Structure 1
Amino acid sequence: MSTTAQVRQELEESIAVKRAWSDALCAAVAQAAERAAAALRAGKKLVFFGNGGSAADAQHLAAEFLGRYRRERAPLRAIALHTNTSAVTAIANDYGYDQVFVRQVEAWVEPGDVVFGISTSGDSEGVVSALARARTLGAFAVALTGEGGGRCASACDLLLAVPSRATPRIQESHITLGHILCGLVESSLSERAGA
Protein backbone atom coordinates (compact mmCIF):
# COMPACT_ATOMS: atom_id res chain seq x y z
CA MET A 1 0.00 0.00 0.00
CA SER A 2 1.35 3.44 -0.92
CA THR A 3 1.86 6.12 1.70
CA THR A 4 -0.92 8.17 0.14
CA ALA A 5 -3.27 5.19 0.37
CA GLN A 6 -2.34 4.76 4.04
CA VAL A 7 -3.20 8.40 4.68
CA ARG A 8 -6.54 7.94 2.94
CA GLN A 9 -7.23 4.78 4.95
CA GLU A 10 -6.55 6.59 8.26
CA LEU A 11 -8.86 9.43 7.23
CA GLU A 12 -11.62 7.00 6.29
CA GLU A 13 -11.29 5.19 9.62
CA SER A 14 -11.60 8.48 11.52
CA ILE A 15 -14.61 9.56 9.46
CA ALA A 16 -16.28 6.17 9.95
CA VAL A 17 -16.07 6.47 13.73
CA LYS A 18 -17.64 9.91 13.70
CA ARG A 19 -20.40 8.72 11.35
CA ALA A 20 -21.11 5.88 13.79
CA TRP A 21 -22.07 8.28 16.60
CA SER A 22 -25.55 7.26 17.69
CA ASP A 23 -28.46 9.63 18.22
CA ALA A 24 -28.11 8.80 21.93
CA LEU A 25 -24.49 9.98 21.96
CA CYS A 26 -25.40 13.19 20.13
CA ALA A 27 -28.20 13.80 22.64
CA ALA A 28 -25.78 13.17 25.51
CA VAL A 29 -23.34 15.75 24.08
CA ALA A 30 -26.20 18.25 23.94
CA GLN A 31 -27.11 17.40 27.54
CA ALA A 32 -23.49 17.94 28.65
CA ALA A 33 -23.52 21.33 26.95
CA GLU A 34 -26.78 22.29 28.66
CA ARG A 35 -25.37 21.32 32.06
CA ALA A 36 -22.12 23.20 31.39
CA ALA A 37 -23.94 26.36 30.25
CA ALA A 38 -26.26 26.25 33.26
CA ALA A 39 -23.29 25.86 35.61
CA LEU A 40 -21.45 28.78 34.04
CA ARG A 41 -24.57 30.98 34.20
CA ALA A 42 -24.78 30.16 37.91
CA GLY A 43 -21.19 31.23 38.51
CA LYS A 44 -19.87 27.67 38.72
CA LYS A 45 -16.93 26.22 36.80
CA LEU A 46 -15.92 23.47 34.41
CA VAL A 47 -13.11 21.13 35.47
CA PHE A 48 -11.25 18.91 32.98
CA PHE A 49 -8.78 16.09 33.55
CA GLY A 50 -7.18 13.13 31.80
CA ASN A 51 -3.82 11.47 31.17
CA GLY A 52 -1.49 11.62 28.17
CA GLY A 53 -3.33 12.60 25.01
CA SER A 54 -6.47 13.02 27.10
CA ALA A 55 -4.59 15.56 29.24
CA ALA A 56 -3.83 17.49 26.06
CA ASP A 57 -7.53 17.40 25.18
CA ALA A 58 -8.46 18.52 28.70
CA GLN A 59 -6.25 21.60 28.61
CA HIS A 60 -7.24 22.34 25.02
CA LEU A 61 -10.92 22.44 25.95
CA ALA A 62 -10.34 24.44 29.14
CA ALA A 63 -8.44 26.97 27.04
CA GLU A 64 -11.33 27.26 24.56
CA PHE A 65 -13.60 28.31 27.43
CA LEU A 66 -11.08 30.67 29.05
CA GLY A 67 -10.21 32.33 25.76
CA ARG A 68 -12.85 32.03 23.11
CA TYR A 69 -14.08 29.38 20.74
CA ARG A 70 -15.90 31.23 17.94
CA ARG A 71 -17.50 34.22 19.64
CA GLU A 72 -15.97 37.24 21.31
CA ARG A 73 -17.12 37.04 24.94
CA ALA A 74 -16.02 37.22 28.54
CA PRO A 75 -13.77 34.38 29.75
CA LEU A 76 -15.60 31.37 31.12
CA ARG A 77 -14.46 29.58 34.28
CA ALA A 78 -12.63 26.41 33.25
CA ILE A 79 -9.55 24.62 34.55
CA ALA A 80 -7.48 21.58 33.56
CA LEU A 81 -6.11 19.79 36.62
CA HIS A 82 -2.79 18.54 35.26
CA THR A 83 -1.30 21.87 34.23
CA ASN A 84 0.28 22.64 37.62
CA THR A 85 3.30 20.33 37.37
CA SER A 86 4.42 21.05 40.92
CA ALA A 87 1.04 19.91 42.26
CA VAL A 88 0.96 16.85 39.99
CA THR A 89 4.46 15.70 40.93
CA ALA A 90 4.08 16.46 44.64
CA ILE A 91 0.77 14.61 44.91
CA ALA A 92 2.10 11.69 42.85
CA ASN A 93 5.21 11.50 45.02
CA ASP A 94 3.46 11.83 48.37
CA TYR A 95 0.18 9.99 47.75
CA GLY A 96 0.57 8.00 44.53
CA TYR A 97 -0.29 8.90 40.96
CA ASP A 98 -3.86 7.64 41.29
CA GLN A 99 -4.53 10.49 43.73
CA VAL A 100 -3.36 13.33 41.44
CA PHE A 101 -6.84 14.26 40.22
CA VAL A 102 -8.75 13.25 43.38
CA ARG A 103 -6.73 15.59 45.61
CA GLN A 104 -7.28 18.48 43.21
CA VAL A 105 -10.98 17.71 42.85
CA GLU A 106 -11.23 17.87 46.64
CA ALA A 107 -9.52 21.27 46.60
CA TRP A 108 -11.31 22.89 43.66
CA VAL A 109 -14.67 21.25 42.98
CA GLU A 110 -17.83 22.69 44.53
CA PRO A 111 -21.50 21.75 44.29
CA GLY A 112 -22.91 22.74 40.91
CA ASP A 113 -19.61 22.49 39.02
CA VAL A 114 -19.36 20.23 35.97
CA VAL A 115 -16.35 17.93 35.73
CA PHE A 116 -15.15 16.22 32.56
CA GLY A 117 -12.99 13.13 33.03
CA ILE A 118 -11.36 11.93 29.82
CA SER A 119 -10.11 8.34 29.43
CA THR A 120 -10.01 6.49 26.13
CA SER A 121 -10.26 3.11 27.88
CA GLY A 122 -12.63 4.35 30.55
CA ASP A 123 -10.49 2.49 33.07
CA SER A 124 -7.90 5.05 34.21
CA GLU A 125 -7.89 4.67 37.99
CA GLY A 126 -7.19 8.36 38.61
CA VAL A 127 -9.98 9.49 36.28
CA VAL A 128 -12.50 6.98 37.67
CA SER A 129 -11.71 7.99 41.26
CA ALA A 130 -11.86 11.72 40.53
CA LEU A 131 -15.23 11.41 38.76
CA ALA A 132 -16.65 9.46 41.69
CA ARG A 133 -15.28 11.95 44.23
CA ALA A 134 -16.63 14.92 42.27
CA ARG A 135 -20.11 13.41 42.43
CA THR A 136 -19.93 13.08 46.20
CA LEU A 137 -19.01 16.77 46.34
CA GLY A 138 -22.16 17.72 44.42
CA ALA A 139 -20.67 18.21 40.96
CA PHE A 140 -22.15 16.84 37.75
CA ALA A 141 -19.65 14.29 36.40
CA VAL A 142 -19.23 13.68 32.66
CA ALA A 143 -16.97 10.94 31.30
CA LEU A 144 -15.52 10.95 27.77
CA THR A 145 -14.44 7.42 26.88
CA GLY A 146 -14.25 4.84 24.15
CA GLU A 147 -16.80 2.13 23.45
CA GLY A 148 -18.47 0.70 26.53
CA GLY A 149 -17.22 3.35 28.92
CA GLY A 150 -15.16 1.03 31.09
CA ARG A 151 -15.26 1.72 34.83
CA CYS A 152 -15.99 5.40 34.16
CA ALA A 153 -19.52 4.38 33.13
CA SER A 154 -20.52 3.70 36.73
CA ALA A 155 -18.52 6.63 38.17
CA CYS A 156 -20.22 9.42 36.20
CA ASP A 157 -23.61 11.06 35.78
CA LEU A 158 -23.35 11.25 31.99
CA LEU A 159 -21.32 8.98 29.70
CA LEU A 160 -20.05 10.17 26.31
CA ALA A 161 -18.68 6.91 24.89
CA VAL A 162 -17.23 7.09 21.37
CA PRO A 163 -18.06 3.92 19.37
CA SER A 164 -14.48 2.71 18.91
CA ARG A 165 -11.78 0.78 20.78
CA ALA A 166 -8.89 2.31 18.80
CA THR A 167 -7.16 4.98 20.91
CA PRO A 168 -6.28 7.36 18.03
CA ARG A 169 -9.83 7.24 16.66
CA ILE A 170 -11.32 7.82 20.14
CA GLN A 171 -9.03 10.80 20.74
CA GLU A 172 -9.97 12.32 17.38
CA SER A 173 -13.64 11.99 18.27
CA HIS A 174 -13.07 13.41 21.75
CA ILE A 175 -11.68 16.65 20.39
CA THR A 176 -14.52 16.85 17.84
CA LEU A 177 -16.99 16.23 20.65
CA GLY A 178 -15.25 18.87 22.78
CA HIS A 179 -15.38 21.46 20.01
CA ILE A 180 -19.09 20.78 19.52
CA LEU A 181 -19.58 21.20 23.26
CA CYS A 182 -17.75 24.54 23.21
CA GLY A 183 -19.89 25.81 20.35
CA LEU A 184 -23.14 24.75 22.01
CA VAL A 185 -22.17 26.38 25.30
CA GLU A 186 -21.16 29.63 23.62
CA SER A 187 -24.40 29.72 21.65
CA SER A 188 -26.49 29.03 24.74
CA LEU A 189 -24.78 31.73 26.81
CA SER A 190 -24.97 34.25 23.97
CA GLU A 191 -28.68 33.58 23.44
CA ARG A 192 -29.41 34.07 27.13
CA ALA A 193 -27.38 37.29 27.11
CA GLY A 194 -29.30 38.52 24.07
CA ALA A 195 -26.19 38.62 21.87
Structure 2
Amino acid sequence: MSAEPVGGDVNSMSLYPFLTSSEVDVDAVLRQVMRSTEDKAREIIALRGEVLERDRSELIACSASMAERFRQGGRLLTFGNGGSSTDAQDMASMFLHPGPDSTALPAFGLTSDIAVVTALSNDVGFDVVFARQIGAFGRRDDIAAGLSTSGNSANLLSAFDEAKRRGLLTIGIAGDRGGKMAESESIDHLFVVPSSSVHRIQEAQTTLYHALWELTVLALASNADTENGSAARSFQEELG
Protein backbone atom coordinates (compact mmCIF):
# COMPACT_ATOMS: atom_id res chain seq x y z
CA MET A 1 0.00 0.00 0.00
CA SER A 2 1.33 3.44 -0.86
CA ALA A 3 -0.88 5.73 1.23
CA GLU A 4 0.92 7.72 3.94
CA PRO A 5 -0.27 7.59 7.58
CA VAL A 6 -2.70 10.36 8.45
CA GLY A 7 -2.34 10.27 12.22
CA GLY A 8 -3.13 8.01 15.15
CA ASP A 9 -1.10 5.35 16.93
CA VAL A 10 0.13 2.04 15.53
CA ASN A 11 -2.74 0.06 17.02
CA SER A 12 -5.41 2.28 15.46
CA MET A 13 -3.58 2.12 12.14
CA SER A 14 -3.65 -1.69 12.22
CA LEU A 15 -7.44 -1.54 12.29
CA TYR A 16 -7.50 0.69 9.19
CA PRO A 17 -4.83 -0.78 6.88
CA PHE A 18 -5.80 1.50 4.00
CA LEU A 19 -4.45 4.48 5.99
CA THR A 20 -0.90 3.20 6.43
CA SER A 21 2.07 2.65 4.13
CA SER A 22 3.26 -0.41 6.05
CA GLU A 23 2.33 -3.91 5.02
CA VAL A 24 -0.70 -5.16 6.90
CA ASP A 25 -2.16 -8.66 7.05
CA VAL A 26 -5.73 -7.77 6.14
CA ASP A 27 -6.96 -11.30 6.84
CA ALA A 28 -5.51 -11.12 10.35
CA VAL A 29 -7.19 -7.77 10.91
CA LEU A 30 -10.53 -9.19 9.75
CA ARG A 31 -10.13 -12.18 12.06
CA GLN A 32 -9.43 -9.81 14.94
CA VAL A 33 -12.51 -7.76 14.11
CA MET A 34 -14.60 -10.93 13.93
CA ARG A 35 -13.38 -12.10 17.34
CA SER A 36 -14.09 -8.67 18.80
CA THR A 37 -17.62 -8.69 17.37
CA GLU A 38 -18.28 -12.18 18.72
CA ASP A 39 -16.97 -11.18 22.15
CA LYS A 40 -19.26 -8.13 22.22
CA ALA A 41 -22.25 -10.22 21.16
CA ARG A 42 -21.59 -12.76 23.93
CA GLU A 43 -21.15 -9.92 26.42
CA ILE A 44 -24.47 -8.25 25.65
CA ILE A 45 -26.35 -11.56 25.60
CA ALA A 46 -24.98 -12.40 29.05
CA LEU A 47 -25.73 -8.88 30.32
CA ARG A 48 -29.32 -9.01 29.09
CA GLY A 49 -29.75 -12.37 30.78
CA GLU A 50 -28.37 -10.99 34.04
CA VAL A 51 -30.73 -8.01 33.95
CA LEU A 52 -33.69 -10.25 33.14
CA GLU A 53 -32.92 -12.65 35.97
CA ARG A 54 -32.49 -9.88 38.52
CA ASP A 55 -35.32 -7.58 37.42
CA ARG A 56 -37.94 -10.07 36.25
CA SER A 57 -40.42 -9.26 39.03
CA GLU A 58 -39.71 -5.53 38.85
CA LEU A 59 -40.40 -5.47 35.11
CA ILE A 60 -43.78 -7.11 35.63
CA ALA A 61 -44.66 -4.80 38.52
CA CYS A 62 -43.59 -1.71 36.59
CA SER A 63 -45.49 -2.64 33.44
CA ALA A 64 -48.61 -3.36 35.52
CA SER A 65 -48.34 0.13 37.03
CA MET A 66 -47.84 1.62 33.58
CA ALA A 67 -50.89 -0.20 32.25
CA GLU A 68 -52.98 1.15 35.13
CA ARG A 69 -51.87 4.71 34.34
CA PHE A 70 -52.71 4.28 30.67
CA ARG A 71 -56.14 2.90 31.61
CA GLN A 72 -56.75 6.06 33.63
CA GLY A 73 -55.90 8.26 30.65
CA GLY A 74 -52.26 8.83 31.47
CA ARG A 75 -49.47 9.52 29.01
CA LEU A 76 -45.82 8.48 28.84
CA LEU A 77 -43.22 11.29 28.96
CA THR A 78 -39.67 10.19 28.15
CA PHE A 79 -36.36 12.05 28.42
CA GLY A 80 -32.59 11.65 28.34
CA ASN A 81 -29.37 13.28 27.13
CA GLY A 82 -27.20 12.48 24.13
CA GLY A 83 -27.62 8.89 23.00
CA SER A 84 -30.12 8.40 25.81
CA SER A 85 -32.18 11.19 24.25
CA THR A 86 -32.42 9.13 21.08
CA ASP A 87 -33.39 6.07 23.11
CA ALA A 88 -36.00 8.09 25.00
CA GLN A 89 -37.57 9.22 21.74
CA ASP A 90 -37.46 5.65 20.44
CA MET A 91 -39.24 4.47 23.60
CA ALA A 92 -41.98 7.08 23.14
CA SER A 93 -42.34 6.18 19.47
CA MET A 94 -42.69 2.50 20.32
CA PHE A 95 -45.70 3.17 22.55
CA LEU A 96 -47.21 5.71 20.16
CA HIS A 97 -46.56 3.83 16.89
CA PRO A 98 -46.34 0.14 17.89
CA GLY A 99 -47.33 -1.38 14.57
CA PRO A 100 -50.52 -2.71 13.00
CA ASP A 101 -51.24 -5.38 15.60
CA SER A 102 -51.08 -3.24 18.76
CA THR A 103 -53.02 -0.29 20.12
CA ALA A 104 -51.22 3.05 20.10
CA LEU A 105 -50.67 4.55 23.55
CA PRO A 106 -50.14 8.29 24.21
CA ALA A 107 -46.45 9.07 24.55
CA PHE A 108 -43.98 11.77 23.60
CA GLY A 109 -40.31 12.57 24.15
CA LEU A 110 -39.37 15.75 25.97
CA THR A 111 -36.41 16.32 23.63
CA SER A 112 -38.49 16.22 20.44
CA ASP A 113 -39.29 19.95 20.39
CA ILE A 114 -35.88 21.54 19.88
CA ALA A 115 -37.32 25.05 20.27
CA VAL A 116 -38.52 24.25 23.80
CA VAL A 117 -35.26 22.49 24.70
CA THR A 118 -33.04 25.32 23.49
CA ALA A 119 -35.25 28.06 24.94
CA LEU A 120 -35.20 26.52 28.41
CA SER A 121 -31.48 25.76 28.18
CA ASN A 122 -30.64 29.27 27.06
CA ASP A 123 -33.05 31.30 29.17
CA VAL A 124 -33.26 29.28 32.38
CA GLY A 125 -30.68 26.48 32.48
CA PHE A 126 -30.07 23.01 31.16
CA ASP A 127 -30.64 21.43 34.58
CA VAL A 128 -34.37 22.25 34.40
CA VAL A 129 -34.97 21.44 30.74
CA PHE A 130 -37.08 18.36 31.60
CA ALA A 131 -38.45 19.43 34.98
CA ARG A 132 -39.99 22.58 33.51
CA GLN A 133 -41.74 20.55 30.79
CA ILE A 134 -43.08 18.07 33.32
CA GLY A 135 -44.27 20.98 35.41
CA ALA A 136 -46.09 22.42 32.40
CA PHE A 137 -47.45 19.24 30.80
CA GLY A 138 -47.42 16.55 33.49
CA ARG A 139 -50.66 15.24 34.97
CA ARG A 140 -51.16 12.97 37.96
CA ASP A 141 -51.94 9.88 35.88
CA ASP A 142 -48.91 10.33 33.60
CA ILE A 143 -45.69 8.32 33.51
CA ALA A 144 -42.20 9.88 33.51
CA ALA A 145 -39.39 7.66 32.18
CA GLY A 146 -35.79 8.88 32.13
CA LEU A 147 -32.75 7.15 30.64
CA SER A 148 -29.10 7.70 31.56
CA THR A 149 -25.98 5.56 31.20
CA SER A 150 -24.36 7.04 34.31
CA GLY A 151 -27.45 7.78 36.40
CA ASN A 152 -25.93 11.13 37.39
CA SER A 153 -27.60 13.59 35.00
CA ALA A 154 -28.75 16.60 37.02
CA ASN A 155 -31.61 17.40 34.66
CA LEU A 156 -32.99 13.87 35.00
CA LEU A 157 -32.82 14.02 38.78
CA SER A 158 -34.68 17.34 38.77
CA ALA A 159 -37.27 15.90 36.39
CA PHE A 160 -37.89 12.91 38.65
CA ASP A 161 -38.29 15.19 41.67
CA GLU A 162 -40.82 17.34 39.81
CA ALA A 163 -42.68 14.29 38.51
CA LYS A 164 -42.86 12.75 41.98
CA ARG A 165 -44.22 15.99 43.45
CA ARG A 166 -46.98 15.96 40.85
CA GLY A 167 -47.92 12.32 41.40
CA LEU A 168 -46.57 10.86 38.17
CA LEU A 169 -45.34 7.27 38.03
CA THR A 170 -41.55 7.53 37.71
CA ILE A 171 -39.28 5.06 35.93
CA GLY A 172 -35.50 5.29 35.78
CA ILE A 173 -33.26 3.31 33.45
CA ALA A 174 -29.57 3.69 34.32
CA GLY A 175 -26.22 1.96 33.97
CA ASP A 176 -23.18 0.90 35.98
CA ARG A 177 -24.32 1.12 39.65
CA GLY A 178 -27.15 3.54 39.04
CA GLY A 179 -25.28 6.67 40.10
CA LYS A 180 -27.34 9.32 41.88
CA MET A 181 -30.51 7.86 40.42
CA ALA A 182 -29.98 4.87 42.73
CA GLU A 183 -30.03 7.27 45.68
CA SER A 184 -33.13 9.17 44.58
CA GLU A 185 -36.36 8.73 46.50
CA SER A 186 -38.31 10.14 43.55
CA ILE A 187 -38.03 7.06 41.33
CA ASP A 188 -40.70 4.39 41.73
CA HIS A 189 -39.07 1.77 39.51
CA LEU A 190 -35.34 1.78 38.78
CA PHE A 191 -33.59 -0.56 36.35
CA VAL A 192 -29.78 -0.57 36.37
CA VAL A 193 -27.65 -2.27 33.72
CA PRO A 194 -24.52 -3.45 35.60
CA SER A 195 -21.80 -2.57 33.10
CA SER A 196 -19.14 0.11 32.74
CA SER A 197 -19.39 0.06 28.94
CA VAL A 198 -21.67 2.79 27.56
CA HIS A 199 -22.26 0.69 24.44
CA ARG A 200 -23.37 -2.42 26.34
CA ILE A 201 -25.47 -0.31 28.73
CA GLN A 202 -27.41 1.32 25.92
CA GLU A 203 -27.92 -1.98 24.12
CA ALA A 204 -29.35 -3.56 27.28
CA GLN A 205 -31.44 -0.47 28.06
CA THR A 206 -33.04 -0.77 24.63
CA THR A 207 -34.03 -4.32 25.51
CA LEU A 208 -35.42 -3.12 28.85
CA TYR A 209 -37.82 -0.60 27.42
CA HIS A 210 -38.86 -2.98 24.66
CA ALA A 211 -39.77 -5.47 27.40
CA LEU A 212 -41.66 -2.78 29.32
CA TRP A 213 -43.68 -1.94 26.21
CA GLU A 214 -44.55 -5.57 25.49
CA LEU A 215 -45.45 -6.34 29.10
CA THR A 216 -47.55 -3.19 29.37
CA VAL A 217 -49.52 -4.22 26.29
CA LEU A 218 -50.04 -7.66 27.81
CA ALA A 219 -51.12 -6.13 31.12
CA LEU A 220 -53.69 -3.99 29.31
CA ALA A 221 -54.92 -7.04 27.43
CA SER A 222 -55.19 -9.08 30.63
CA ASN A 223 -57.52 -6.49 32.10
CA ALA A 224 -59.71 -6.55 28.99
CA ASP A 225 -59.85 -10.34 28.80
CA THR A 226 -60.31 -11.56 32.37
CA GLU A 227 -63.08 -14.05 31.57
CA ASN A 228 -60.87 -16.77 30.13
CA GLY A 229 -57.61 -15.52 31.68
CA SER A 230 -55.53 -16.30 28.58
CA ALA A 231 -53.95 -12.85 28.36
CA ALA A 232 -53.25 -12.83 32.09
CA ARG A 233 -51.40 -16.12 31.78
CA SER A 234 -49.43 -14.76 28.83
CA PHE A 235 -48.54 -11.73 30.93
CA GLN A 236 -47.10 -13.85 33.73
CA GLU A 237 -45.35 -16.26 31.36
CA GLU A 238 -43.80 -13.66 29.07
CA LEU A 239 -40.57 -13.51 31.06
CA GLY A 240 -40.33 -17.27 31.47
Which TM-score bucket, shorter chain as reference?
A: over 0.9
Deviations 1:9-48 (A, max 9, x none): 1111211211222644221121211111100001111111
Match of 2:55 among 7, 25, 34: 25
Give the number of equivalent residue pairs.
194
Matched, 1:101 2:130: yes
Residue 228 of structure 2 corresponds to which residue in structure 1?
none
Q: Report the secondary structure of 2:130's partner residue.
A: helix
Deviations 1:86-137 (A, max 9, x none): 0000000001111110110101111121111111100001111101110011
Segment of structure 1 superposing worse, 59-68 or 11-20: 11-20
Letter paired with 1:127? L
Measured on the aligned residues, the alpha-carbon RMSD in Å equals 1.6
Matched, 1:63 2:115: no
Letter paired with 1:152? M
Matched, 1:44 2:74: yes
Matched, 1:192 2:188: no
CA distance in 1, matches of 2:171, 2:178: 11
CA distance in 2, matches of 1:132, 1:3: 44
Question: Within 5 A, what are the aligned runs for 1:119-138?
Answer: 119-138=148-167
TM-score by length of 1: 0.93
Runs of 4+ in 1 over 3 A off after TM superposition: none
Match of 2:187 among 129, 138, 156: 156
Structure 1 or 2, whichever has the larger Rg, is 2
TM-score by length of 2: 0.76
CA distance in 2, matches of 1:180, 1:93: 36
Letter paired with 1:56? T
If asked which structure has higher relative contact order (CA below 8 Å, sep 6+), I would say 1
